[in-house]
Amino acid sequence: MGKAEREAFIAEFDSGPLVSYGTTRKEYVEAPAELLAAPERLLPYLEQSFAYAKTLKPQQRKRK
């Protein structure tokens, strides 16, 4: 999701950014259990996320 969509999602579901292994993933949001229990409600957010991801440029590989 883009920044505006992430902020709206966080406000609507009283959620926050995803914290994984002690690291805050700023471009990810944590989906609440109520949304995970209703896939039909989750689908539009997944579609938004997929559409946003397709707009991003690929990262350059680092040579070793």
Average pLDDT over residues 12-31: 92
Cβ neighbors of 55 (< 8 A, separation 6 or more) are: none
Give pTM, 2 decimals.
0.76
Beta-carbon neighbour count of residue 18 at 10 Å? Answer: 14
Domain edges within the chain: 3-54
**pLDDT, tens digit, for every residue of 31-55?**
999 999 999 999 999 999 999 999 9
